[in-house]
Every structure is written in structure tokens, then in C-alpha cells.
Amino acid sequence: MRSGRWPTKIDCWKEVFRGLEGRLGLFHFIQRVTRTLRKRHVDHFPAINQLLGAVCFCNQEDCEALLVALKECTLMGKKHSDDDIAELKVTKHFWQRRAECLRKEMRQPDDMCHNLDQWFTWFKCTASEGSQPARGRVDPVTGDALFAPETKTAIANWKERSMHLQDPLPLDQMCDVTFPNPNSPHGPKECLSRRGESNLDSFHLTLVHFGNAGMRESLADSLNSTVTARRNLQIRHKLKTCRLTDENTRALTPAGWETVPDCFNHSELDHVNKIVRSAGIKQEQDGHADVRPRQL
């Protein structure tokens, strides 16, 4: 189990759930520091990237496969030079689109704390006597420093809980891997993390947009239920694709449509399957045996 407050009340949880092994969620772990940073500061985005690098790093084999795909024009439609790739890596768009090709490995607690100290030194604007000199800068427009007064306290609390972040399983068991479609020209694999907490919180952000739209309560509930059902269906479809090993079966589907579910309304699909079976066609021949109708 991953929680944003682990190991708070750890004795209680282990008493309720025997054999429970818990970890601190990466999203809330990072957020404890990022919410103390000034978002309008000129160095905010570089600081976030380096903070993530202090906590985890991308698997080297995955990085090599992604670089080869970018340089050989099999991923984004054109060949990229080293300078082009360097420019892409500092953009938010690149990490939103290509992070699924890179498995993240958590650093060990001591290494994480050391990197965090170096990160704090690199972006702080003032230094107390006897500490490392500050290398940060104030924002040229607002004149504010990147760190708020609460940042130092958040980092101290962060270092105390760094030992609760490491994965309990080997890296190859922390992701569901989807190999490239036989019809696809690129080579990197897509990885669906089993940590799950970051995806859950990003989904909560989607629900917040519905709540802020000023619509009536019944319409907001209907939209939330629909989005939740489609999101879960999309995840189940990805997991089903991860388990496909017969390349001839995957070759029947165009690579661009492989990630799109065949049907969004499984209750209607279940009704169609019943009509098909009543006509004498066996279930294994109808092509839609994996149906999850709505339970009333």
C-alpha cells in the first residue's frame, strides 16, 4: 500500500491488515517541497526537474532505447540531433509524452538525502555562517527568492522519511510492460507503473475541473461517473494489451488504434453478446468475451 502520510499510524494499519507492507507515495513526497516553492520564479521548472532527479532516475536501458528511436527517426517523425534532444528534455511536453517509455528507479535513502542537500544549495539565495555558499538567484521580475520560509522545514521532514520511499519489489515487477506493436516502426517499450499514486492524483485533478465549472450537482455527478468508468476501462485495456504475447494477434490491429478500447459501453456489449449466443454462435467466437457489464 502507498500512502501520502506513511508511516503515520503504522502500528494501527499493521494490526488491522496482517502482513501489510507500506510505502510513502512519490507524488505527496515531492509535493511537500514543491508546494513551498514560488511558482512564478524563473527557476521553478528547472528546480522541479532537478528535485525529481534527486529522488529517482530513469533506467539506463530505457534511456538508450529512447535515444536510439529519436535519432533514427522512428518515434517522432524526424531525426533528432543531440542538441534537439537536449532542448526537448527541458520541456514539459517531452516528459508528458515520453515518460511512459522510461522506468523510474528510486534512489537509496543516503544518496537521496545527499542529492537533496546539493539541490538546496544550488537554488538557495542566502547562506548562514558555516554552511555551503548559496548559488541561487532572485527572480529578475519579482525580486523574490525561489524558496519560501517553509522550504527548509519541509526538506528536513523529507529527509527523515526518505527511507520509506523505496520500492518493495524488483524493478521488473514494478511495471506492466507493453512491447511495441509489430506494425509500429519504433522500438521503445511502454511501461505502466504499478505504484499508481501519481495517476490517481492526476485523475483527481480532472474531477476538480468538473467541480469548478459551476454546473448543477446532478450533471457533475453524471460526468464524474462517466469519466471514472472510461478511465478505468482505458486502464483495463492497457493491462490487457500488456498480456498479449501472440504477435500475429496484435498484427491484426493498426498500431495507432491498439490503445483505443473496442467499446466503451460494456452493458450494451453484453446484451449484444447474448443475442449472438442465442443465434447459435459460441462465446469464444464472438470476439468480445472479456465483458464487464454494470452491476446494479
Please tell me whether residues 154 and 238 are part of one structural domain. Answer: no
Cα distance between residue 16 and residue 21, in whole Å: 12
Grid coordinates representing 38 are 514560488
Residues 112 and 255 in one domain: no
pLDDT digits (tens, 9 = 90+) for 166-193: 888 888 888 888 777 776 666 678 787 7
Task: Judge if 155 and 199 occupy the same domain.
Answer: no
Task: List the pLDDT tens digit at each of the 296 positions of the chain.
Answer: 777 777 788 888 888 888 778 888 888 788 889 999 998 999 998 898 889 889 888 888 888 888 888 887 766 667 888 888 888 777 777 777 777 788 888 899 999 999 999 999 999 988 888 788 888 899 988 889 999 989 989 888 888 888 888 888 888 888 888 777 776 666 678 787 777 666 666 676 667 666 666 777 788 788 778 878 888 888 888 777 777 765 556 666 676 777 778 778 778 888 888 888 888 877 554 445 566 655 43
163 DSSP 8-state letter: G
Question: Tell me, what DSSP letter sits at residue 41?
Answer: S
Is residue 270 assigned to a domain? yes
Residue 72 within any structural domain of the chain: no
User: 154 and 17, same structural domain?
Assistant: yes
Q: Is residue 280 part of a domain?
A: yes
Would strands 56-58 and 104-106 be described as parallel, antiparallel, or unpaired? antiparallel
125 and 208 co-located in one domain: no
154-179 burial code (b ≥16 CB/10 A, e <16):
bbeebeebbebbebeeeeeebbbebb
Residues 25 and 123 in one domain: yes
52: left (phi over 0), alpha (psi -120 to 50) or beta: alpha
pLDDT in tens, 190-240: 787 777 666 666 676 667 666 666 777 788 788 778 878 888 888 888 777
User: HSE on the CB side for 143, CA within 13 Å?
Assistant: 0
Cell numbers for 179, please give them. Answer: 512491447
Which residue do the cell numbers 501519481 mark? 198
What pLDDT score does 289 carry? Answer: 56
Note down the domain range covering 21. 2-58+103-164
Do 119 and 251 sit in the same domain of this protein?
no
Indicate the number of domains in the chain: 2
String of b and e for 107-138 (b: at least 16 CB within 10 Å)?
Answer: beeeebbebbeebbeebbeeeeeeeeebebee
Its pTM stands at 0.69
**273 with 218, same domain?**
yes
- Could you say which of 145, 164, 183 is where a domain stops? 164
Is the Cβ–Cβ distance between 266 and 237 less than 8 Å? no
Please tell me whether residues 112 and 258 are part of one structural domain: no
Domain presence at residue 85: no
Q: Please give the Cα distance from 76 to 294 (Å, whole number).
A: 39
In a domain, 277, yes or no: yes
Query: Rounded to whole angstroms, how far apart are CA atoms 160 and 116?
Result: 12
- How many other C-beta atoms lie within 10 A of the C-beta of residue 2? 21
pLDDT of residue 296: 37
